[in-house]
Structure 1
Amino acid sequence: MNVDVYQLTKSFGRDEVLNGIDLDFRTGRVYGLVGRNGAGKTTLFNCLAGLEKHGGKVIAEGGILKDRLGFLQTEPYFPSKLTGREYLRLFCKARGVPDEGLDERNVFDLPLDRYAQQYSTGMKKKLGLLAILLQQNDFFILDEPFNGVDIHSALLITEIIRRLKSEKKTVLISSHIFSTLRDTCDVIHVLDGGKIMETIGQEDFERLEQDMTAFAVGNRLDVLRFS
């Protein structure tokens, strides 16, 4: 699914969070988004998902983006007294897709008959991801999909992202774990100061990681004494 973003802006009062974002997303590609805390990543995702009003345009091939979008938020919301199974059925119904065979499609081995609010952080993240996968969406936004999950689930999520790419889906990911982006992305966008400062191809991922490490660490550790 092709999506074009033109001069997207977003402010909260006098605080300008996004300033003239131009992006293009193409079918069968995986895009990463990196930036410091507060850089505006989640705000950008919310704007793309139609959860925030914004300036500029988001033009999706074949219709409205939110109608074909699977959005995994950093902290998915779960209504009280709703089991994992009921949550999945709710998401399937929202897209008009069959909800049969949930146990067979429960790739994360989640306890579907327990209340979702009782799940651990990692289990909630996996339930949220499974729900949008079952919807058969064309565009996926995954905001920190690896947060809180165990190593085996992280490996499975990595393979899911690769499978989405092979199925000609379009994926946009943010992650604080650079290796997860390096292993899955075709392109990484760097967001800073409300603008896209760089767009990096795979050939420059190593250089980007080095730059990020140098900025994050620098000589900060010199003030510590380890012995």
Structure 2
Amino acid sequence: MIEIINLSKSYGSKQVLSNINIRFDSGKIYGIVGENGAGKTTLFRCLAELEVYDGRIQSDEQNLKGKLGFLTSEPYYLPKITGEEHIYLLTDARKVKVDNLTERNIFQLPLKEYVSNYSTGMKKKLAITAVLLQKNEYFIFDEPFNGIDLESSIIFSAILKKLKDLGKTVIISSHIFSTLKDSCDYIYKIEEGTLSPPFAKESFDELEDEMRQKILMKDIGKIL
């Protein structure tokens, strides 16, 4: 469980998040949707303790940061590091011993090669693999489906369901709404730094229609 209480975040005079209150329970998958700049990534960075913020974040683990796996939308890699070395770097940081890495390489990545030679999709799959092998209790996935192929998307969707079955807390953002509909128990819309009430599965189509209508209100005739 993670609970956010009265969380606000500003960058100078710009208010990005305003009085966020939400609880993420174990064994559930939560989706966060919103336009670019709405505050999704800032919220995730606050949860990962990468930002200073006002308010409180508490969990049923004393060391939330040490139990939280954060997949950023654009993972960073050290120069001249192989895929294998990157995985061991992240797992060693959590004091997690990884055995039989070759067998656990479900995305069939060339782990002995430099990450700098990887495609965008391969880099994303390497980041997913490393976060999963850390044995975290909480997971934040920021746009995990971006750049990966159909086969890998199917595998990752199955991984999400497995994490839920294992009682993990999962928070995910995606611009591909269908991936959230298939995986999430609840979806929240973030707009102008505030969160909507939760949409349950029976309301996902309503939320999707609402978002589509808002997008179509933009005057596309100005560019055509």
Taking structure 2 as the reference length, the TM-score comes to 0.97
- Partner Cα distance (1:192, 1:22) in 2: 14
1:120-135 alignment to 2 at 5 Å?
120-135=119-134
Secondary structure at the residue paired with 2:197? strand
Which residue does the alignment assign to 2:15? Answer: 16
Percentage of identical aligned residues? 46
2:106 alignment partner AA:
V
- Partner Cα distance (2:213, 2:174) in 1: 18
Deviation of the 1:52 alpha carbon: 0.6
Q: Deviations over 1:41-81 (max 9, x none)?
A: 00000000000111100001021211100000001110001
Deviation of the 1:117 alpha carbon: 2.1
- Partner Cα distance (2:49, 2:158) in 1: 28
Secondary structure at the residue paired with 1:79? coil
Deviation of the 1:138 alpha carbon: 0.4
- How many residue pairs get aligned? The number is 224
Which residue does the alignment assign to 1:175? Answer: 174
Secondary structure at the residue paired with 1:198? coil
Q: Aligned-pair RMSD on alpha carbons? A: 1.2
Structure 1: runs of 5+ lacking an equivalent: none
After TM superposition, the runs of 4+ consecutive aligned structure 1 residues lying more than 2 A away are: 218-225
Q: Deviations over 1:177-205 (max 9, x none)?
A: 00000000000011001111231111100
Deviation of the 1:85 alpha carbon: 0.2
Which residue does the alignment assign to 2:61? Answer: 62
Structure 2: runs of 5+ lacking an equivalent: none
2:165 alignment partner AA:
S
1:171 alignment partner AA:
V
Q: Deviations over 1:104-129 (max 9, x none)?
A: 00010001011112211111111001
Which residue does the alignment assign to 2:155? Answer: 156
Contact kept in structure 2, 1:191 and 1:198, CA below 8 Å? no
1:202 alignment partner AA:
K
- Partner Cα distance (1:191, 1:18) in 2: 9
Contact kept in structure 2, 1:34 and 1:189, CA below 8 Å? yes
Taking structure 1 as the reference length, the TM-score comes to 0.96
Which residue does the alignment assign to 2:104? Answer: 105
- Partner Cα distance (2:208, 2:113) in 1: 40
- Partner Cα distance (1:56, 1:161) in 2: 29
- Partner Cα distance (1:203, 1:3) in 2: 24
- Partner Cα distance (2:219, 2:94) in 1: 49
The 1:22/1:114 distance shift into structure 2, 3 A limit, reads same
- Partner Cα distance (1:211, 1:64) in 2: 38
- Partner Cα distance (2:223, 2:2) in 1: 47
1:68-147 alignment to 2 at 5 Å?
68-147=67-146
Contact kept in structure 2, 1:40 and 1:194, CA below 8 Å? yes
2:136 alignment partner AA:
N
